[in-house]
Amino acid sequence: MTWWSDSILQVSAAVAVALLLWYRYLTCTYGKWKGLGVPGPEPEVFFGNFADIVKGRTPLVAFVHQLYNRYHGRRYFGVYGGREPLLIIRDPGIVHDVMVKDFSSFYDRTADDVSFKHDKLFNHLFNMRGEQWKALRSKLSPTFTTTKLRSMMADINDCSRRLIDNLNEQITKNNGIVDVSEVSAQLTTDTIGRCAFGLDCNSLADPNSEFRRAGRDIFKTTWKIVILDFIRTIGLGRLLDLFRMRGLPDHIYDFFDNLLETTMKQHESGENSRNDFISVLVKLKNDEKQNEQNKKLFTDDILSANTFIFFVAGYETSASTISYCLYELAKNQEVQEKLRQQIMETLYANDGKLSYDIIKDMKYMDMVINETLRMHPPVPVLNRVCSKKYTIADSNVTFNVGDKLMIPIYALHHDPNYYPDPEVFDPERFTDENKNSRPLGTFIPFGDGPRICIGLRFAMVEIKTGLSEMLSKFEVSTCDDTPNTIKFKPRSFLLTPTEPIRLSFKKIE
Ligand code: HEM
């Protein structure tokens, strides 16, 4: 044997051992659910059960819903995201315990092995963990107090009036056909811009405004984002730090840095004296200067990341609720008529003006929006990571720190046990009596417990105002372009339709 065949043998043996060890590393977790007697589909090496999701063949929400139905009668089932075990909860009692009663064991949405050090825009309230989340949440909570919401009404009403101008123009131009996905996004971009940042984003007047373009670019699914998400899902998030990888196009990072700088300057110079989200950040920054301890908690990068999440969460989820609601109202004319009647009566009784207190008491409107959020929850699944050892009641499943679970919001909202004929749009499901007859944990479009959506009340006010303006001026119906059923975009964290929703608008004379 020559020296080189010897070397080839040694190298081949080393490669074989390395591959074997890698294979062992990838698969050593796969026995977990079987060992505990937890049902679940068989995983395959590398992707676990997420192959179709990562390859873009199936949206996550459809995958989870299908398994939720398959394990009918079970309290939970187990899957693997890559090599990471993930328990998906079916029992609303456990859902409620995890989110509310035993929250101290499930503080976080992301595990410690996911760092956002080099992707600074993602180090925001939604992703933050433990004490840092708690500290920031308490500082940001005053953003949407009742007093502040009352004072935001002038801006919210103004944006809704601009929406009507936009719709009138579109109707004349496009023969009554309106892309409600786009127009709702323009409305909510302008509203969050005015109410949180004190800026005129101008999206309704110019669909290619800087803000609207940024909003669109953030939600473009690129391969880079898919790969980064997958690396995080399979627990290798630290690699992203190592290679200093960022998920969004560079201009988005510059956009939010500039947005923060400009709006803070406006506040500091007195040019903008509103008591808005930016004023909360200015206060945070000033407190920080005086308090050495806080310095590391609220850096400029963290403030920038939170500007990002308030903008993104503030416009996309509310826009999707408005467009899904119009879609259902177009298909269910009798509900639309009943809602219009309530809107007209409310406007008539209040000289045509909507205030926070009037909006708050529109009961039927609440029922219609809740039914929309039941059928089309913008955030269709939620994650929680164990922060303190926890055993599920009456079970042998124990979570150790870092173990993950998923709450299948969409599947719970479509479970015929709680919502008979779940594909039927029926706001009567949300009368007080019907609401109280369902178990806790079966209606959670905004999440629940201390980590519940911080923008819930603001979202409801802007959605109600926008719908009131539109339905008092236009009748909405389906047209040839309206999809019969809505298909969801694969690789989207949100419940995004594959095609824009187009409806026919007719002016009420
Ligand atoms: C219809 C509209 C909206 C829906 C359906 C929605 C839904 C949600 C959901 C499901 C969560 C996770 C809650 C949990 O884990 O328990 C969440 C969190 C959050 N939402 Fe919303 N949201 C909406 C509007 C908004 C608005 C308007 C804003 C801001 C202006 C906002 C900002 C946030 C933030 C910052 C978090 C993270 C909260 C935390 O971790 O402390 N959302 N939202």
Q: pLDDT tens digit string along 263-314?
A: 888 888 888 777 788 888 888 888 777 766 655 677 888 889 999 999 998 8
Q: What is the pLDDT of residue 235?
A: 64
Q: pLDDT tens digit string along 126-185?
A: 999 888 899 999 999 989 999 999 999 999 999 999 999 999 999 999 999 999 999 999
Q: How far is the CA of 475 from the centre of ligand 1 (A)?
A: 30
Per-residue tokens: 257 = 């840095």
Q: What is the pLDDT of residue 112?
A: 67
| CA-wise closest residue to 260 among 293, 282, 245, 292 | 282
Q: What is the pLDDT of residue 77?
A: 98
Q: How far is the CA of 408 from the centre of ligand 1 (A)?
A: 16
- Cα–Cα distance between 377 and 444 in angstroms, integer? 9
- Cα–Cα distance between 140 and 84 in angstroms, integer? 33
- Residue 395: burial class (beta carbons within 10 Å; 0-12, 13-18, 19+): middle
Q: pLDDT tens digit string along 112-138?
A: 666 777 788 888 999 998 888 999 999
Nearest protein Cα to ligand 1, atom 21: 453
Res. 220 pLDDT band, cuts 50 70 90: confident
Mean pLDDT of the chain: 91
Task: Give the position, in ligand 1's atom list, of the atom nearest the Cα of 449.
Answer: 16
**Residues making up the binding site:** 453
Q: How far is the CA of 287 from the centre of ligand 1 (A)?
A: 26
Position 345 pLDDT exceeds 80: yes
Per-residue tokens: 463 = 């959605």
Average pLDDT on 309-333 reads 95
Instruction: Name the H helices within 243-332.
Output: 250-268, 277-290, 300-331
Q: What is the pLDDT of residue 279?
A: 85
Q: How far is the CA of 453 from the centre of ligand 1 (A)?
A: 3
Q: pLDDT tens digit string along 73-114?
A: 999 999 998 889 999 999 999 999 999 999 999 999 987 666
Q: What is the pLDDT of residue 466?
A: 96
Q: What is the pLDDT of residue 285?
A: 81
Q: pLDDT tens digit string along 404-423?
A: 999 999 999 999 999 999 99
> In angstroms, what CA-CA distances link 423 with 328, 375, 501?
11, 7, 18
Interface confidence, given as ipTM, is 0.99
User: In whole angstroms, what separates CA 273 from the centre of its chain?
Assistant: 30
Q: What is the pLDDT of residue 390?
A: 97
Position 233 pLDDT exceeds 70: no
| CA-wise closest residue to 155 among 186, 196, 184, 185 | 196
| CA-wise closest residue to 233 among 377, 109, 118 | 109
User: Dihedral of the CA atoms 247, 251, 254, 255 (nearest 10)?
Assistant: -100
Cα within 13 Å of Cα(396), Cβ side: 7
Task: Give the position, in ligand 1's atom list, of the atom nearest the Cα of 444.
Answer: 10
Beta-strand ranges (E) seen in 14-140 are 76-81, 84-89
Nearest protein Cα to ligand 1, atom 30: 314
For residues 439 and 314, the answer to whether their CB atoms sit within 8 Å is no
Res. 344 pLDDT band, cuts 50 70 90: very high
Angle (CA) 253 453 246, round 5°: 20
| Secondary-structure percent of the chain, ordered helix, strand, coil, rounded to 5 | 55, 10, 35
Res. 221 pLDDT band, cuts 50 70 90: confident
Q: How far is the CA of 399 from the centre of ligand 1 (A)?
A: 26
Q: Of the residues 61, 407, 412, 446, which should be mutated to test ligand 1's pocket, given the most ligand atoms within 8 Å of the CB? A: 446
Q: Greatest CA span in the chain, whole angstroms? A: 99
**Residues making up the binding site for heme:** 453
Per-residue tokens: 402 = 């870092």
Task: Give the position, in ligand 1's atom list, of the atom nearest the Cα of 144.
Answer: 30
Res. 472 pLDDT band, cuts 50 70 90: very high
Beta bridge partners of 120: none
Average pLDDT on 472-489 reads 95
Ligand 1 pocket residues where CB is under 6 Å: 99, 125-126, 137, 192, 309-310, 313-314, 317-318, 321, 378-379, 382, 445-448, 451-455, 458-459
Q: How far is the CA of 451 from the centre of ligand 1 (A)?
A: 9
Most confident of 14-23, 271-280, 361-370: 361-370
Q: Of the residues 110, 404, 453, which should be mutated to test ligand 1's pocket, given the most ligand atoms within 8 Å of the CB? A: 453
Percent of the chain with pLDDT over 90: 66
- Residue 171: burial class (beta carbons within 10 Å; 0-12, 13-18, 19+): middle
Q: How far is the CA of 376 from the centre of ligand 1 (A)?
A: 15
| CA-wise closest residue to 310 among 137, 111, 131, 135 | 137
Nearest protein Cα to ligand 1, atom 7: 446
Determine phi and psi for 483, rounding to 5 degrees. -70, 145
Nearest protein Cα to ligand 1, atom 15: 447
Q: What is the pLDDT of residue 292?
A: 64
Position 59 pLDDT exceeds 80: yes
